Amino acid sequence: MKYLVFLGNPGKEYAPTRHNAGFMIGEALAVKLGVSWEKRKNFLVARGADCWLVKPQTFMNLSGEALKWLPDFRRDELLIVVDDLALPLGKLRFRENGSAGGHNGLKSIAAALGDDNYQRLRFGVGDGAAVRGEKMLGQVLGNFSPLEREQLPSLYDAAADACRDWLNNGIKFCQDRYHSINN
C-alpha cells in the first residue's frame, strides 16, 4: 500500500491560498483515480485499490500528527505533497529526502517520523524569489492572482499526473521525467 499525504489547511478561508496547493493536487488525483474522501481521526482519506490519499485536518504546522493514524508503512511507500514558495508557479521537484527548507508542514512530518528521510513532491507556488519572515507568511497564506488562478487547474492536473507516475513507477522515474521537462 502506498500513501500520498497532501499538505494544506482545512477551512474555506484557506481554500484559495498558496499553502493549500497540496490539498488541491490531492483533489485532482482523487478525481483521476475515481475515489471519494471520507473523514477519519484527524485527516480525510480517499482509498484506492493500492493507495491511500490523505489530507491532514490539523492545520499545516501539525501535519505530521496524521501519520500516527496511518497503518504501518515503509518510507518508500510514502510521498508528501507540499507547496514551495521558492519555486516558480507549477514547477515540480521530487526529492527522496532533505531538509524542511523552512516549511512548517515538512518540519511537522519530520518530527513525526523522527528524521528528514521521506519522499516529497514540492509544487511551486511562488516566483522563485527568496521570501522570508512576515512577507513569507503573507505570501503562503495569500491568494493567487487572477492570472495565476486561470493556470491552476492545468497545473494541479499535471501535478496529479506526476503523483500517479510516482504510484506506478517510483521516485527515480519521476525525478528523471519531471526534472528534465520542468526546468
* Catalytic site positions: 19
C-alpha cell at 108: 511537522
Contact (CB, 8 A) for 68 and 112 = yes
What b/e string do you get for 137-155 counting C-beta neighbours within 10 Å, with b at 16 or more? eebbeeebeeeeeeebeeb
Q: How far apart are the C-alpha atoms of 103 and 85, rounded to whole Å? A: 9
44 CB-contact burial (10 Å; exposed 0-12 / middle 13-18 / buried 19+): buried
**CB neighbours of residue 176 within 10 Å:** 12
Q: How far apart are the C-alpha atoms of 169 and 163, rounded to whole Å? A: 10
Contact (CB, 8 A) for 54 and 2 = no
Contact (CB, 8 A) for 119 and 160 = no
β partners of residue 55: 44
